[in-house]
Amino acid sequence: MPDYNYETLLVEQDQSVLTITLNRPERLNAVDRTMHWELETVFGDVAIDPSVSAIIVTGSGRGFCSGGDVRAMDERSSTNVIQQRPMGAVSQSGRRILHNMLWVEQPIVCALNGVAAGLGATIALFCDIIYASDQARIGDTHVKAGLVAGDGGAVIWPLLVGVAKAKELLMTGDIIDATEAERIGLVNKVVPHDQLMTEVMGLARRLANGPALAIRGTKHAINKKILNDLNLALDVGLALEERSARHPDHTEAAKSFVEKRTPQYKGTI
């Protein structure tokens, strides 16, 4: 059995249901280097744990995950969260989270308890089923940080809401509320905030106690479609994101966020 001992993730097991909680509430669970590495690792760990039949992913505090840690981006002078370890032609770490999530056989239910932005939105949407609090909001805000939405957003959003709507939301970086997310098919269900974890746990237990081979096989068959699109688009997306991370617009976005002012983009490529 894996040792679920992490610095930025809280992992708790109740019978055969494992709950993974992103646990940096003071930063709206923003993904720093440590959390990125631990997210890469935890899904690989849980995939080989025979005691786990269903997984819940949620966030601590008032948010799910606000995406990459923009303050840390500013401190690193225009290097982003996936550029911290040696990598090949494209980021191995950026690829690993999503591949590991998709290869987990056990069903993954997202309890979207608050805002999910950027990479946080990607993590939520790569779960199998998403229940959202009526206080939740979601959006891929990469462009607002001067970055290409390359870490999976360009893969999963078109699959869920269609190409035209995905282009609108990814190119504007707009954040939408849970009701709108349910209307367009981005999340499965919206529930009152104080009932979210009860509803999600009920679904997780139902899946955990169901016919495992049938459920996992169905998930795997569907995920082959997502993996096909991931293999088509992710490497170029990560490469373009890495390029945009070196552009002055990203530096300006990070600095303006820290300085609490409107960014002044140059509009050049």
Q: What is the pLDDT of residues 117-150, one digit of tens each?
A: 999 999 999 999 999 999 999 999 999 999 999 9
Looking at the chain, the whole-number percentage of residues with pLDDT higher than 90 is 80
Q: Which residues contact 224 (CB under 8 A, 6 or more apart)?
A: none
pLDDT for 107: 98
pLDDT for 86: 45
Average pLDDT estimate for 223-248: 93
Cα 56 to Cα 259: distance, rounded to the nearest angstrom: 36
pLDDT at residue 105 greater than cutoff 90: yes
pLDDT tens string 151-184: 899 999 999 999 999 999 999 999 999 999 999 9
pLDDT for 269: 78
pLDDT at residue 89 greater than cutoff 90: no
Average pLDDT estimate for 201-222: 98
Cα 19 to Cα 33: distance, rounded to the nearest angstrom: 21
Q: If one looks up domain 9-259 in CATH, what number appears?
A: 3.90.226.10
Q: Phi first, then psi: what are they for 57, rounded to 5°?
A: -120, 125
pLDDT band at 35 (very low <50, low <70, confident <90, very high): very high
| Cα angle 182, 18, 34; round to 5 | 85
pLDDT at residue 266 greater than cutoff 90: no
Average pLDDT estimate for 178-200: 98
Amino acid at 240: L
Task: Quote the mean pLDDT of the chain.
Answer: 91
pLDDT tens string 57-76: 999 999 999 998 766 554 54
Domain boundaries, the chain: 9-259
